[in-house]
Amino acid sequence: MGVYNEHLLRDYAAAELGFAVLLLAAAVLFERRLVLVAGAAFYAATVPHFAYHVTTTAMLSTTDNIASLGSFVIELALVAFAMVAVGRNQPVEGTALAR
């Protein structure tokens, strides 16, 4: 692990807070484009983070690894479910189905 960096930690936390607002808006409004863009952004940020945790399990106990990696899997599955659900419920604008 690297040296503690308060500025980096605060920047990361602020970005995560903004990201949480985006995901909350997508969940509440459940509009197709918003859900798909928020889901894609979530995957772009989360998959590399998940990959890091999968490859650095030695520093945590088995219980902590199960909790950490399990929560990632649940998050990824929920977002995938939302993206599929909104795609089925709302036709793409500009297509014959949308009329």
pLDDT higher than 80, residue 90: no
Q: How many domains does the chain have?
A: 1
In a domain, 99, yes or no: no
In a domain, 87, yes or no: yes
pLDDT for res 87: 83
pLDDT for res 99: 43
In a domain, 49, yes or no: yes
Q: What is the mean pLDDT of the chain?
A: 90
Percent of the chain at pLDDT > 70 equals 89
In a domain, 1, yes or no: no
In a domain, 59, yes or no: yes
Range of the domain at 69: 6-93
Q: What is the DSSP string of the chain?
A: -----HHHHHHHHHHHHHHHHHHHHHHHH--HHHHHHHHHHHHHHHHHHHHHHHH--TTS-HHHHHHHHHHHHHHHHHHHHHHHHHHHHSPPTTSGGG-
